[in-house]
Amino acid sequence: MIDLYTWATPNGRKISIALEELGLDYEVHPVNIGKGEQFSAEFTRISPNQKIPAIVDRETGIRLMESGAILLYLAEKTGRFLPEEPARHWEAIQWLMWQKGGLGPTLGHALHYLKFNRGKSVYSEERHEKETHRLYGVLNRQLTGRDFIVGDDYTIADIAAWPWVARHEFQTVDLNDYPNVLTWYLRIAERPAVHAGWSVPLPEDVPMPKNINP
């Protein structure tokens, strides 16, 4: 049994999607970050950086924060969603790190400046809009001729990136401009585990791109 500390955000949903995909038993502990529950003493013991997601594996006693570390842990624990063959193994880790160091932080800042705080800083709006579109271009190129980020197999690199791309509309991104990202997005959106994981801890439909060009 895994205790999952989470909230309805892209980083949180990465882990609920992974747990659903892996069919692991887990108990959800909502941490309402809007109400500051991430700063409680109890949660800080589990997640020293005071951010969701975090897990405690009751079987091993291991506690983890940081979505990338958690995804690697779950992949290692189950032997799934991380290829064994060295070239593809490291390619998956490379794209996981790209998501953690580039795509996630940039799209997170884009949400703040382009969706929730328009007009506060023209510099930040321009900077994050430009970098957001550059990163979607990078993902679009990587997905050329591939069903998933590292080829034929769905990996933790896809699980990490997808929930951020799900917020494309808030980031001023039209997925029609990135056709390979669009088909990848829709392919993953069909997975029942993605629907189940997206609804943790609050029920919400998976976002579907609007006005898809034929």
Which residues form the interface with ligand GSH (CB under 6 A)? 9-11, 33, 38, 51-53, 66-68, 100
CB of 123 to ligand GSH, least distance (A): 22
Q: Which residue has the tokens 């909502």?
A: 30
CB of 152 to ligand GSH, least distance (A): 26
Cβ nearer to ligand GSH, comparing 96 with 143: 96
Gap between the Cα atoms of 81 and 79, Å rounded: 7
Cβ nearer to ligand GSH, comparing 6 with 182: 6
Cβ nearer to ligand GSH, comparing 10 with 209: 10
Cβ nearer to ligand GSH, comparing 11 with 155: 11
Buried b (16+ CB within 10 A) or exposed e, 158-170: bbbbbbbbbbbee
Cβ nearer to ligand GSH, comparing 50 with 183: 50
CB of 53 to ligand GSH, least distance (A): 6
Cβ nearer to ligand GSH, comparing 34 with 192: 34
Cα 35 from chain centroid (whole Å)? 22
CB of 69 to ligand GSH, least distance (A): 8
Q: Give residue number: closest CB to ligand GSH.
A: 51
94: alpha, beta or left? (left if phi > 0; alpha if psi -120 to 50): alpha
CB of 105 to ligand GSH, least distance (A): 8
Gap between the Cα atoms of 127 and 180, Å rounded: 24
CB of 177 to ligand GSH, least distance (A): 25
| Nearest in space to 141 (alpha carbons), one of 184, 105, 194 | 184
